[in-house]
Amino acid sequence: MFRAFLIKTAVASALVLGMSGGTLAQQPSDTTQDAKKAGKEAKDAAKDSGEAAKDAAKATGKAAKSGAKKTGQVTKDAAKETATGTSKAAKTVKKKLTPDTTSATCKDGTVQTGKTKTTACFDHGGVRD
């Protein structure tokens, strides 16, 4: 009876130790796999975050470029309008300051302008009759 008890106890102990030993042996493997999986997921998340930042930067760059282009066009248009206005003002001032002129056909066949017909053809042989 004692002998049967010892055998049963030894078998039970072997089973308990064998299972727990197997479980303990599997735990580090499972833990390692879980850690590797978590590391891979973290790496993928970082990669996705980097891609999102890259896309956001690209969009910001495009918006800035577009804004700068529009600003440049507005500035160019304003400068053109200012130049046109200045040119018109200069012509108006010139007309106000320059006396009226007349044109005359000279004896050499050219048409000249001047304050008077005589001064217009002064170097061209005089006024043609």
pLDDT at res. 15: 63
Nearest to 119 by CA among 110, 127, 109: 127
pTM: 0.35
How confident is residue 2, by pLDDT bands cut at 50, 70 and 90?
Answer: low
Distances in Å between the Cα of 42 and the Cα atoms of 35, 48, 50, 67, 105 are 10, 10, 12, 37, 94
pLDDT at res. 25: 47
Q: What is the rounded average pLDDT of the residues 66-91? A: 89
CA distance 99 to 28: 106
pLDDT at res. 98: 67
Position with higher pLDDT, 10 vs 43: 43
Nearest to 107 by CA among 88, 91, 122, 89: 122
CA distance 15 to 38: 34
Tens digit of each residue's pLDDT (9 = 90 or more) over 17-61: 555 444 444 455 678 888 888 888 888 888 888 888 888 888 888
Domain boundaries, the chain: 32-96, 99-129
Q: Which amino acid is at 16?
A: V
- CA geometry: angle at 114 spanning 108 and 117, to 5°? 60
